[in-house]
A = this chain, B = another copy of it.
Amino acid sequence: MSLDPAAAAELGTVRIVGTGLLGASIGLGLRGLGVRVLLHDPSPTALALARDVGAGEPDPGDEPVSLVVVGAPPDVTAEVVRAELAAHPQATVTDVASVKGQIAAVMPGIPGAERYVGGHPMAGRERSGPTAARADLFLGRPWVVCPSPSSPERHHPRNETVRMLALALGAMPVFMPAGEHDEAVALVSHVPQLAASLVASRLVRAADPAVGLAGQGLRDVTRIADSDPVLWAQILSANAAPVVNVLKDLRVDLDHLIVALDALRHDEAVGARAAVAQVIHNGREGRERIPGKHGDPQTRYAVVTALLPDSPGELARLFDDIGEAGVNVEEFSLEHSPGARVGLGSVSVLPAARDVLEAALTAKGWHVVS
């Protein structure tokens, strides 16, 4: 995927309302593609910063625009969309809020609602605000497009406009009704976030020696627990119904698990061990549905792990040697065990390449451990 000037050429003048990370990144990307971008933000500081990073010019307010992109905080997006529909009676209005049903629900009855097309670019960064903007923030990411119920056809010109916006910025447009989108993000984003937080919460009062035994598994499960409580309270509040439905399903499984483990604890184990195994089995089955690289069904890679002295240049040497072996790296992760002055570099490769790579690295003097 790359930025697409041909798609950008279809857009006309674009007004961006709300110049935070997403709004400013959209402006920056479009500007680089030659699109005229007009910016607006209730905060003069945010507006000036967005202009300074090159996201566009402050909107003088006297120019017709063909597309308005609302990048306001989730809890005021619907109100801003309504105001923009009224102020720009010819324009298509879209937004970037991460929950779509709440906005779609207030549209009926709003004058011009047929010109609103919901959007959700699934991209973000750890940093926020216009100074964190990147023209390439959306490269290769899904950008959900939720057509208005009055023009659901994929090729309706207003839907096409938002699709072109996504394509211009190198994203992958995915058409989906608002309700379906909200259920999907509850499942693949909001509930995993909460599960990570609930697991990590258990560590707050844990003894030091216990957390000292933490390994890569715990680190992976809890990585996204490192999130902003205020932003997440907004997102989860806006998507409460789909999230609570998934959580209640999860609680049913959790309750069964607790009953089974309680039985095992008291040696009333008929069927209990099978019930526990079933939980792990189901998880494995669900895990296999997650698409991997290139949108193909998740590929099983072979993993070759090498010991890496903890000093500069070692990774470069490793990848030189991998490159010389003619092997393509599908995934790579570097792990340090607590207390160890040596790292483990895990190289995922296509299964057919495993033996070649092991032999090549060993020949180069690497300590291959798997």
Contact = CB atoms under 8 A, between A and B. Distances in A.
Given A134-B369, A188-B213, A334-B332, A195 B198 contact: yes
Contacts of A172: 338-340
Contacts of A272: 237
In this complex, the interface size class of chain A, counting residues with CB under 8 Å from chain B, is 35 or more
A202 B233 contact: no
A233 B192 contact: no
Contact of A192 (B126, B222, B278, B303): B222
Contact of A294 (B194, B210, B336): B336
| Residue among A251, A311, A326 with the highest chain B CB neighbour number at 10 A | A251
Contacts of A139: 307, 337, 340, 342, 369
Nearest to A331: B334
Interface in A242-260: 243-244, 246-251, 253-255, 257-258
A206 interface: yes
Contacts of A344: 140
Interface in A208-227: 209-215, 217-227
A165 to B, nearest CB: 18
A323 interface: yes
A341 interface: yes
Contacts of A282: 197, 200-201, 204
Contact of A287 (B203, B303, B320, B328): B203
Copies in the complex: 2
Interface string A153-195: 0000000000000000000101010001001110111011111
B323 A273 contact: no
Contacts of A225: 280, 283-284, 286-287
A202 B191 contact: yes
Grouping DSSP codes into helix (H, G, I), strand (E, B) and loop, the A interface class, with mixed when no group exceeds half, is helix
Interface string A277-296: 11111111111111111110
A172 B286 CA distance: 35
Contact of A189 (B215, B228, B294): B215
Contacts of A214: 188, 290-291
A199 interface: yes
B218 A244 contact: no
Nearest to A278: B229
Given A233-B276, A282-B197, A286-B202, A332 B307 contact: no
A343 to B, nearest CB: 8
Interface in A309-341: 310-313, 315-320, 322-323, 326-341
Given A247-B261, A248-B258, A283-B225, A211 B289 contact: yes
A355 to B, nearest CB: 14
A367 interface: yes
8 contacts: A139-B340, A172-B339, A180-B209, A184-B209, A194-B280, A201-B285, A202-B246, A226-B284
